[in-house]
């Protein structure tokens, strides 16, 4: 799959790509990390794995497709990444340290991001998990747990940013901030949390569930302005 991707600072990811025209629009706006949620326990996938593979394989660096999944078996994760052509995987499932270690053995060139879902467990346990997994992953992403639906991502809800800020300070890996980020709040979020990157999914969609070009452009502008500070 090629060499490991080294994370850039001030990363901006847009997740939940629906189809090829949307992927093209995101690239035109300047988005370099496109997220594809697949094999999900709560939400319905936006597109099929075959459609995702076609889009991901069409992307050329510095644009990358990111598999977002809740699978917790290393062999299954590695196989899906290979089928999709994905060189970055974002793990949202309850995957243990041994399986993460096994994944790095099975697919050493894979860039691995692990979710830290705020509200799913107490803050001290979350920080302990981050410290334990830090040597085995390339980055973390904080997200929001919704107790009403059981969703741990794509909730459209923010969490206590002070928790994310403490995680940024506690671990020696880049931390991406996600969870309810919109063009209206992303600047404040970046200034308060000081993350290495941000991710938005539902916060940049229109009423039809598609990504809005205007919202994407404003999100990027607001985020880039905050990162520049």
**Residue 186: how many CB atoms within 10 A of its CB?**
26
In a domain, 79, yes or no: yes
* 3 state DSSP class of 137: coil
Q: How far apart are CA 162 and CA 135, in angstroms?
A: 24
Phi-psi sector, 57: left (phi>0), alpha (psi -120 to 50), beta: alpha
Angle CA 89–91–97, to nearest 5: 115
* Domain around 51: 11-228
In a domain, 5, yes or no: no
Domain count, the chain: 1
Report the pLDDT value the prediction gives residue 19, as an integer from 0 to 100.
98
Residues 69-83: pLDDT tens digits?
999 999 999 999 999
CATH number at residue 195: 3.20.20.70
DSSP letter at 8?
Answer: P
In a domain, 46, yes or no: yes
Q: How far apart are CA 125 and CA 71, in angstroms?
A: 21
Question: Which two structure tokens, joined as six digits, stand for 94?
Answer: 């309850």
In a domain, 6, yes or no: no
Q: How far apart are CA 130 and CA 22, in angstroms?
A: 33
Q: How far apart are CA 140 and CA 133, in angstroms?
A: 9
Angle between helices 186-193 and 213-228 (to 10 degrees): 30
Report the pLDDT value the prediction gives residue 6, as an integer from 0 to 100.
61
Report the pLDDT value the prediction gives residue 1, as an integer from 0 to 100.
41
In a domain, 3, yes or no: no
Low-confidence ranges of the chain (pLDDT < 70): 1-7, 119-121, 146-147, 149-155
Q: How far apart are CA 109 and CA 41, in angstroms?
A: 27
In a domain, 214, yes or no: yes
């Amino acid at each position: 799959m090629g060499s490991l991707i080294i994370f850039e600072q001030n990363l901006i990811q847009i997740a939940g790509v629906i189809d090829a025209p949307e992927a093209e629009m995101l690239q035109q706006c300047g988005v370099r990390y496109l997220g594809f949620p697949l094999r999900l326990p709560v939400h319905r996938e936006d597109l099929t794995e075959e459609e995702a593979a076609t889009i991901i394989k069409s992307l050329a660096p510095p644009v990358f497709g990111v598999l977002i999944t809740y699978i917790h078996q290393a062999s299954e994760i590695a196989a899906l990444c290979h089928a999709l052509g994905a060189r970055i995987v974002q793990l949202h499932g309850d995957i243990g340290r041994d399986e993460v270690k096994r994944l790095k053995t099975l697919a050493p060139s894979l860039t691995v991001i692990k979710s830290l879902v705020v509200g799913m467990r107490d803050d001290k346990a979350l920080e302990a998990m981050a410290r334990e997994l830090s040597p085995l992953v390339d980055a973390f992403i904080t997200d929001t747990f919704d107790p009403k639906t059981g969703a741990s991502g794509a909730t459209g809800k923010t969490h206590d940013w002070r928790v994310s800020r403490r995680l940024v300070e506690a671990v020696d890996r880049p931390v991406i901030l996600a969870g309810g980020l919109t063009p209206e709040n992303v600047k404040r979020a970046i200034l308060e949390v000081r993350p290495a990157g941000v991710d938005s999914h539902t916060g940049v969609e229109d009423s039809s569930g598609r990504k809005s070009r205007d919202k994407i452009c404003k999100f990027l502008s607001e985020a880039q302005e905050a990162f520049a500070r």
